[in-house]
Amino acid sequence: RSDPRAQKLSRAFHSISVQKSLLTHEAQGLMQALVNERQRRKRGKALPLEAEEDYHGGAKFWSPRKVNEARDRLLQQGLEQEQLQHQRAEAARLREVKKQEKLQAAQQKRAARAAAQIIRQEEKAHKAADRALRQAACRTQQRLQQAQKTAQRGKRRDLKAATKAGSKKRAAAQPQSGDDASGAAAGPPPSQSRHGRAIKLPAKYR
């Protein structure tokens, strides 16, 4: 009696062998199809030979001139197709260029807006600084004017005090000067003595 494990291994090997054969056959078929496709592409295109209107089938022989004309038409068709492909490629390139130009223009606009915003912020900061300087200068000028007014008021008070003190001194000295004035107003001494004699004064006292 055979081992069950050996039977399982045998069936597994058989299944793998069958799958391998199928895959190999499929790969060979694909390779042959690829070769046929390549050979078909290598074949020349049919010449665009134009049949006559009264042609109703059967063998047809073409003159060398007709064959050359057909070849020229085929070449012209190829050139037209290449030109069409070139035009399409050029149109695609132009679309890409325009797209890049739009992107670049948008980037330049964003950069210009950012630069303008920076300039506005700098101008705003400069204006604020100038305004602060003017306000500080105005406050300084006001303090100077206030100090000058205070100094002038102090000088006026000192002047008034000095004037008042001078007036008081003059008022205190006025009675003494009055006595001197009364003595001076009494006039010169008499030119005669008490006994009636004439008194001659020196010339400097006359």
Coil, strand or helix at 184: helix
- The whole-number pLDDT of residue 183 equals 47
Give the C-alpha separation, 205 to 82, whole Å: 151
Taking the model in full, what pTM does it have? 0.34
Tokens of 106: 């948008």
Give the C-alpha separation, 139 to 141, whole Å: 5
Better-predicted residue by pLDDT, 197 or 65:
65
Q: Tell me the residue type at 184.
A: A
Coil, strand or helix at 192: strand
Do residues 74 and 48 touch, judged by C-beta distance below 8 A?
A: yes
As to burial, measured by CB atoms within 10 angstroms (0-12 exposed, 13-18 middle, 19+ buried), residue 14 is exposed
Q: Which residue has tokens 């006026």?
A: 156
Q: Could you tell me which residues are beta bridge partners of residue 192?
A: 198
Give the C-alpha separation, 187 to 179, whole Å: 14
Give the C-alpha separation, 191 to 197, whole Å: 8
Give the C-alpha separation, 101 to 8, whole Å: 70
Highest mean pLDDT of the ranges 13-17, 27-31, 61-65, 82-86: 82-86
Kindly report, residue by residue over 42-94, the tens digit of the pLDDT. 555 666 566 555 555 555 656 677 777 777 887 788 788 888 988 998 999 89
Kindly report, residue by residue over 99-144, the tens digit of the pLDDT. 888 988 888 888 888 888 888 898 999 999 999 999 999 999 999 9
Instruction: Show the CA angle centred on residue 29, arms to residues 27 and 35, nearest 5°.
Output: 105
Q: Tell me the residue type at 82.
A: E
Helix, strand, coil shares, percent, the chain, to 5: 80, 0, 20
Confidence of residue 182 (pLDDT cuts 50, 70, 90): very low
Q: Tell me the residue type at 53.
A: E
Confidence of residue 181 (pLDDT cuts 50, 70, 90): very low
Confidence of residue 178 (pLDDT cuts 50, 70, 90): very low
Tokens of 11: 């069936």
Do residues 182 and 176 touch, judged by C-beta distance below 8 A?
A: no
Q: Tell me the residue type at 109.
A: K
